[in-house]
């Protein structure tokens, strides 16, 4: 099947979970989560689950597992915790949780980011993966980086990613 055919058969209206990962943000100070919600809904999708969790491995893993287990979630977005600071544990946590990784997501994000911020892009550990046949994309906390990821990658490929992660109907549990 051609790329165009794959994309043409992909779901158009998706249901997202948005999880903010931060030790310092709450509902009144979080900027990344609201940006993602606005971006997702502005593109005609819905946000069916929204959480804020601490930069703790157990909290991150539990939140992501809750999201993928939720019947009304097609794709999970996290924001925050993808840097290299000692408290940034999202990358290491999710790498240990994913059934499989989507290496091209982080690679493409860093390549696009390089055009905007130069070599500082090496500090980003944005990553993507599949867990229980659902796509999970871990994004930085910076609104500028979120805009880049959403506009140039996520919203363009979300339906295609979801369709591929689900697999053919006969292969689904």
Q: What is the mean pLDDT of residues 14-20?
A: 98
Q: Residue 2 pLDDT > 70, yes or no?
A: no
Q: What is the CATH number of the domain that holds 60?
A: 3.40.980.10
pLDDT above 90 covers what percent of the chain?
A: 84
171 or 57, greater pLDDT: 57
Q: Which tens digit of pLDDT belongs to each residue from 27-64?
A: 888 899 999 999 999 999 999 999 999 999 999 999 99
CA distances from residue 60 to 44, 117, 124 in whole angstroms, order as listed: 27, 28, 18
Distance CA 31, CA 147 (A): 12
Asked if residue 10 belongs to a domain, the reply is no
Structural domain count, the chain: 1
Give the per-residue pLDDT at 116. 95
Q: Domain range holding 32?
A: 15-168
């Amino acid at each position: 099947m051609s790329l165009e055919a794959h994309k043409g058969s992909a779901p158009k209206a998706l249901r997202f979970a948005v999880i903010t990962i931060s030790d310092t943000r709450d509902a009144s100070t979080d900027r990344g989560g609201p940006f993602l919600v606005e971006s997702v809904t502005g593109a005609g999708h819905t946000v069916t689950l929204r959480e804020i969790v601490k930069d703790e491995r157990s909290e991150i893993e539990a939140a992501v597992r809750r999201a993928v287990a939720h019947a009304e979630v097609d794709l999970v977005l996290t924001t925050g915790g993808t840097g290299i600071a000692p408290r940034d544990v999202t990358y290491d946590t999710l790498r240990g949780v994913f059934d499989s990784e989507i290496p091209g997501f982080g690679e493409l994000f860093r390549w696009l980011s390089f055009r905007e911020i130069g070599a500082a892009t090496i500090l980003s550990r944005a990553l993507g993966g599949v867990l229980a046949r659902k796509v999970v994309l871990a994004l930085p906390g910076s609104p500028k980086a979120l805009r880049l990821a959403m506009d140039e990658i996520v919203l363009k490929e979300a339906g295609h990613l979801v369709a591929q992660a689900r697999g053919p109907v006969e292969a689904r549990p």
